[in-house]
Chains A and B, each alone.
Chain A
Amino acid sequence: MTEVPISWFLTLSAVLFVLGVAGFLFRRNIITVFMSIELMLNAVNLTFITFSYQLKRVNGHLFAFFVMVVAAAEAAVGLAIILTIFKNRGTLNIDDVDSMKN
């Protein structure tokens, strides 16, 4: 067998997405939470590319490209927000940033 079943790619994507969700839920450092979001976006990109292969169309690649652009914009703004939070509160722990809870 020299060909990879397409379900393996999709399963890998699911595994990476679930690991991203795990990092998002369990980690307390705001930068690591942000990196988990990037991991989830990567997993979704893999799904897009896989479906693009299956359908033999280029559309999935375009969607992956747009996801990358949005991820870049999100990273720039998000890291600026993290800088501002650190400047104002002096912490990176998301449990200490709870003004909206009370």
Chain B
Amino acid sequence: MDVILFLVFAIIAVVCAINVVVQTHPISSAISLIGVMGSLAVLYLLLGAEFIAAAQVIVYAGAIMVLFVFVIMLLNAGAETRKGRSFMVQLLGVPLLIGLLGLLAYFVQRLYLPGVTVHFGGFRGGTPLDIGRALFTTYLLPFEVTSILILIAILGAIVLARKEMD
């Protein structure tokens, strides 16, 4: 059951991720990216990360992607025009990427022999209670720093995107 769940949503995620890369229109890429994020949220639930799954749907698939779609519509971004891409990229890009993927997969398979497995409910430490407790004790300073970071980001976005007043 867990294997079927994993396979279904992993395939959805990979197909949507390929779609993000191959679609020429930005809005299609954005919709596919929402698909990736949604299926990743299901995989987080499988791994026992309830809070992160909820935050993934709300923050990523909700807020950030709405921002993307909004900007795409605001700028009226059309399909990408394909013109002279670099020769080196054409020649080396795909082989190097496949090499990177092969290396990553090789080390993952070497490091994780089939003894460590995941089943639903195997880890129950990802509830909002546990996250909150860790966030406000061990990680209190990083938490406060992120609030400052968000404030700076808001100010920066306003300063960058405002119309010139004079």
Contacts and interface: CB of A to CB of B under 8 A. Distances in A.
Interface of A: 1-12, 14-23, 25-29, 31-32, 34-36, 38-39, 42, 45-46, 49-50, 52-54, 56-59, 61-62, 64-66, 68-77, 79-84, 86, 92-93, 95
Contacts of B13: 12, 16
B131 A26 contact: no
A42 B53 CA distance: 12
Contacts of A68: 52, 55-56, 59-60
Given A17-B104, A75-B68, A84-B161, A65 B52 contact: yes
A36 B52 contact: no
B156 A80 contact: yes
Given A2-B119, A38-B33, A65-B52, A26 B139 contact: no
Nearest to B4: A2
Nearest to B11: A12
Nearest to B6: A4
Contact of B2 (A3, A20, A26): A3
Interface residues of B, number: 83
Contacts of B37: 42
Given A18-B97, A95-B83, A54 B20 contact: no
Given A49-B47, A77-B153, A77-B160, A64 B52 contact: yes
Interface string B26-46: 100110010011001001101
Contacts of B165: none
B6 A39 contact: no
B68 A18 contact: no
Most buried by B among A32, A62, A68, A81: A32
B149 A56 contact: no
B25 to A, nearest CB: 9
A69 B149 contact: yes
B3 interface: yes
Most buried by A among B59, B108, B146, B150: B108
15 contacts: A6-B112, A7-B111, A12-B43, A17-B104, A26-B89, A29-B80, A31-B71, A35-B30, A42-B40, A46-B43, A49-B47, A65-B55, A66-B142, A80-B158, A83-B75
Contacts of A57: 125
Given A22-B21, A53-B118, A61 B126 contact: yes
A93 B85 CA distance: 12
A50 B21 contact: no
